[in-house]
Amino acid sequence: MKLENRILLVEDEVLIAKLESRQLTSYGYTVTHALSGEEALDLVQSQESNFDLVLMDIDLGHGMDGIQTAIQILQLKELPVVFLSSHTEVEIVEKTQQVTSYGYVVKGSGITVLDASIKMAYRLFQEKWKVQQHQKSLEEAERNFSEILQYSTEGILSINSDFKVITINEAAKKEYYQCFSANIEIGDSFLEAIPYHYQSDWRRRINLAFKGEPYQTDLEIENNGNTFWSDVRIYPIFRDGKIARVGVFSRDITEKQEVEAAARIQEEKYKNLFLNIAEEIHLWKVIRNQTGRIISWKLEDVNPAGLNAWNKTREETIGKETGEIWPETNPVEQFLPIVNQIFRDRLPYSWESYFPGTDQTLRMTSTSFGEYFFSIGQDVTEYRQTEARLKKEIQEKETLLREIHHRVKNNVTSIEGFLDLQLQASNQAEVQEALRCAISYVTAVRVLYDRMLMNQNFNQISLKNYLTSLIDAFLDLYNKNNQVHVSLSIQDILVKANLAIPLGIIANELLTNSFKYAFSGKNETPAQITVTLREEKQDGNLIFVVQDNGIGFDRSLTTFHPGFGISMVEMLAESLKGKLKITNENGTKCFLKFPLV
C-alpha cells in the first residue's frame, strides 16, 4: 500500500490551522483544511476523497467534537487518525485511544514531533493493512480449502498424534462407510471407528507418516461379502517445521480394478488365441520413403502357426523386412498393390494368393491401423489341390456321362425311327394308332436327352424348350396337314429332369386325346388347342392347362375318355403331388396344378 502524504486537518481555529498547514506543507505534505466535524465528514464522503491521514483536533466549537467526528469517519473509511489537541488530561487521552491508536500529539510540540507522529501513524497503518490483507488471504484460503474439502470426490481426512479425526469430508465419510461400515465424524478416534482386524495395519501406516515417511498403496478391503479397492495415500502435514498431523487421501478404484482385471483376462484370452490358433497371424509395420510412399514392411510379431509354416525362428524374422525374410523371392513387388489398397481404403480386405516363399496358398484377411497392418492367413493349399483334382474328376465324369447320354439318345432315336418305319409299313388303323402312341412316348425321352445335352446341365432343364420341342415332334406325327391350330404359352421355368418326364408324358397324352376325340364330326369352326404353363409366385405352384374347342366330354363319365391314357395321366398327376381337373368350357379343359419342388 503506497501513502502519498495527503492529510485532512480538522481544526476550528483558522490561524492555528494556517500555521499547522504551512509547517506540514514545508515537510512535503498536502494539506486539506476542515473547520468542523461536519465539513470533515463531507470531505471524506466526497468522490474526490483520497486522504492518507486525518489530523483531528478534539475541541471543534459548535457541532460534533473531534472524538465523535473520528468515530464517524472510521465508520465510513479505514484511515489513520492522529489527535492534535492542547488537552493533556489522562481521561481525554484514554478516550481517544478507545477510538483509534495511531497517536496523540499535544499542540505546540513542534513540527518535528508532529512529523514523527505522522510517520509513525503511517507505519502503524501499513502494518495493520498488511495484517488485514494477510488475514483476508488466510480467510480466502480457508474458504477455498473448505470448498475443495466439501466438493472433492477424493476422500480427505486428517488425524492428530492421538489418532483423533481433525478434518474429514463427505467423500471420505462415504468411502469409509462403504469399506468399513464405519460412521466417522470430526473428533472420533479413527482407529476405534474401523474394524479391529484393520487397526494394527492402519496404526503402523499412520505412525510411519508421523515419522516423516509417506505411504501409498492400492488397498483391497472385504466388507459384507463385497470387495472394494481404494487408492490410499498417507502424508505428514507440517506446521512450523514439525509434523502437526497426518493427512489420509483415498479414492475408490474398485471399478478401475475391475476394468483392469477384465482387461487382463481379455488380454490373456487374446494371447492364448494368438499363440494357439491354427491360422497364421502376422503384424507388420510399413516403411515409407521421404515422399510418404510405402516401399516395404517390417515384421513386428508373428504367432507360432506362422513360424511353423515359414519354417523359421523369431530371431530370423522379428524386426526384419519382408525382403530380408524371403530374399529368394520378391514379396514387395508381388504384394505391394494389396498393401497400398489396405492403407488407401482403411477397410478389412480378404484375398487369396500363392506365396512362393513358403510354397503355400493362403486365404488372407488384412486390415490396417496407424502405420501397421494385421494379416490373418488360413492355409488352403491342400484344399485348392483337392478342389483342382475334384474339378478334373468331375470334368472327366461329365464327359463320360455326356457320352452315355449321347449313346442313349442315339439308341432312343433308333427305336423312334424303327417304330416310325413300322408305322409307315402298317395299313391297320389300330396298329397305326398304337405305333403313334409308342413313338410319342419314345419321343418324350429322346427330346429330354436332347435338351440336357444342349443345356450342358444334367440337373435342370428348361420346360419351355423341352415342351416346345416335344409338342413340335408330336405335331409331326398327328398334325402333318395342319388341320388343328396349336398355340403355346409356356413360361421359361427350370426344373429337375425327373419332373420334366412325367409332365412331358401328360402333355403328350392330353394332346393325343384332343386329336383323337375332340374334333370328330365338328366342322363349323377351325379346330384349335391351347397349351399353357405358368408359375404362381405366391404359392410356388405350376399351372399346366391343355384346352381345345372341340365337342367336350360326357359329364356322366368321370373322365371324357376313361381309357388307359387318362388313367395314366391321373397317376402321373398324383406322382407330381398335383390336382387334375377336367371340365367342359367350350370344349375340353384339362387343368393340372402341382408344386414346383
Q: Which CATH superfamily is domain 6-132 in?
A: Response regulator (3.40.50.2300)
The two domains 153-257 and 277-379 share their CATH topology (first three levels equal): yes
How does pLDDT run along the chain (597 residues), one tens digit per residue? Answer: 567 789 999 999 899 999 999 999 999 999 999 999 999 999 999 877 789 999 999 989 888 998 999 999 999 888 999 999 888 888 888 888 888 888 898 888 899 999 999 999 889 998 888 888 888 888 887 777 777 777 788 888 899 999 999 888 888 888 888 888 888 999 999 988 888 888 899 899 999 999 999 988 888 888 888 888 989 999 999 988 899 899 999 888 888 888 888 888 888 888 888 889 889 999 999 999 999 999 999 999 999 999 998 999 999 999 999 999 988 888 999 999 999 999 999 999 998 988 888 888 889 999 999 999 989 988 888 877 787 788 877 676 666 556 555 555 566 667 767 677 776 777 776 776 677 777 776 776 666 656 555 555 556 788 888 888 888 877 887 777 788 888 999 998 888 877 888 888 888 888 888 888 888 765 667 888 999 989 887 888 999 999 998 888 765 544 444 456 778 788 888 888 889 998 888 889 999 999 987
CB 412 within 8 A of CB 438: no
Contact residues for 462 (Cβ-Cβ < 8 A; gap 6+): 451, 455, 492, 493, 494
Residue 133: in which H helix or E strand, if any?
Answer: helix 111-151
| CATH number for the domain running over 277-379 | 3.30.450.20
In whole angstroms, what is the distance from residue 522 CA to residue 524 CA? 6
Burial of 65: CB neighbours in 10 Å, binned 0-12, 13-18, 19+? middle
**Hey, which CATH number is domain 153-257, 3.30.300.30, 3.30.450.20, 3.30.56.10, 3.40.50.300?**
3.30.450.20
Specify the fold of 390-595.
Heat Shock Protein 90 (3.30.565)
DSSP H/E element including 89: none
Q: Where are the domains of the chain?
A: 6-132, 153-257, 277-379, 390-595
Global pTM value = 0.40
